[in-house]
Amino acid sequence: MRYEAIVIGVSSGGMNALSSLFSALPGNFSIPIIILQHIGARSNNQWIKLLNKKTAVIIKEAEEKEKIENGNAYVSPPNYHLLIERDKTFSFTIDERVNYARPSIDVLFESAAEAYKTKLIGIILTGSNNDGARGMKRIKECGGLIIAQDPETAESSYMPASGIAAVKMDYILPLQGISELLIKIDKQNDSDEAF
């Protein structure tokens, strides 16, 4: 398979953006997706239930040491950093906040970049903070594909704009363009397997 995982970083305006992105994905979407949405320390996961209602993809909270499997989407738990190990399992830490955030997008993205190298897709969406910019740069350095939401189309433009300022994106697209691109990549992954 050309691409083995997708990481998405998103902050304010995330619920609308993720709803729109995920409602366009088919139930048989295969590449695992790991979502890092900035959430408060006492978030009760109601938002995951809401998001699940909008999409055919199954979205669940990542568990400590859980193996990342095709066909699943995962979200980070509140008040822990989420990291990915080389053996494609999740690790949690409660290290200091990074960019005022725990979970932090940079922490997830940097570890994912090293775990998946060229087989990773990094996506940065709406948000009013610069978390994720360093992580996108690291994904690029390790050979992954990086995509930013077009800041003009984002509820909060600051986060995708910071990503774009930090590193040259492969694609800058509105949400619809991102979901179409992901579907195309997922289909190519399948045809790779057939050959």
Judge whether 122 and 144 are in contact, CB under 8 Å. Answer: yes
Specify the 3-state DSSP secondary structure of 163: helix
Counting contacts by CB under 8 A, is residue 181 touching another protein?
A: yes
The answer to whether 40 contacts another protein (rule: CB under 8 A) is no
Enclosing H/E stretch for 61: strand 58-61
Q: In angstroms, rounded to a whole number, what is the distance separating the alpha carbons of residues 61 and 73?
A: 8
Q: List Cβ neighbours of 32 (8 Å cut-off, separation of 6 or more).
A: 4, 5, 6, 68, 69, 70, 71, 72, 73, 74
CB of 50 to another protein, least distance (A): 21
131 is catalytic: yes
Residue 157 is among the residues annotated as catalytic for this protein: no
We find the least distance from the C-beta atom of residue 16 to another protein, in angstroms, to be 26
Give the number of C-alpha atoms closer than 13 A to the C-alpha of residue 173, restricted to the C-beta side. Answer: 14
From 109, 126, 140, 172, residue interacting with another protein (rule: CB under 8 A): 140
60 vs 162: CA distance, rounded Å: 28
If binding is defined by CB under 8 A, does position 111 make contact with another protein?
Answer: yes
Among positions 91, 153, 174, 183, the unique one binding another protein when judged by CB under 8 A:
91
Residue 77 lies near another protein (rule: CB under 8 A):
yes
Q: Does 168 bind another protein (CB under 8 A)?
A: yes
Q: Would you count residue 117 as binding another protein (CB under 8 A)?
A: yes
3-class DSSP assignment, residue 97: coil
Q: Please, what is the minimum distance in Å from the beta carbon of residue 54 to another protein?
A: 26
Residue ranges in contact with another protein by CB under 8 A:
2, 63-65, 77, 80, 83-86, 91-96, 107, 110-111, 114-115, 117-119, 140-146, 168, 170, 181, 184-185, 188, 191-192, 195
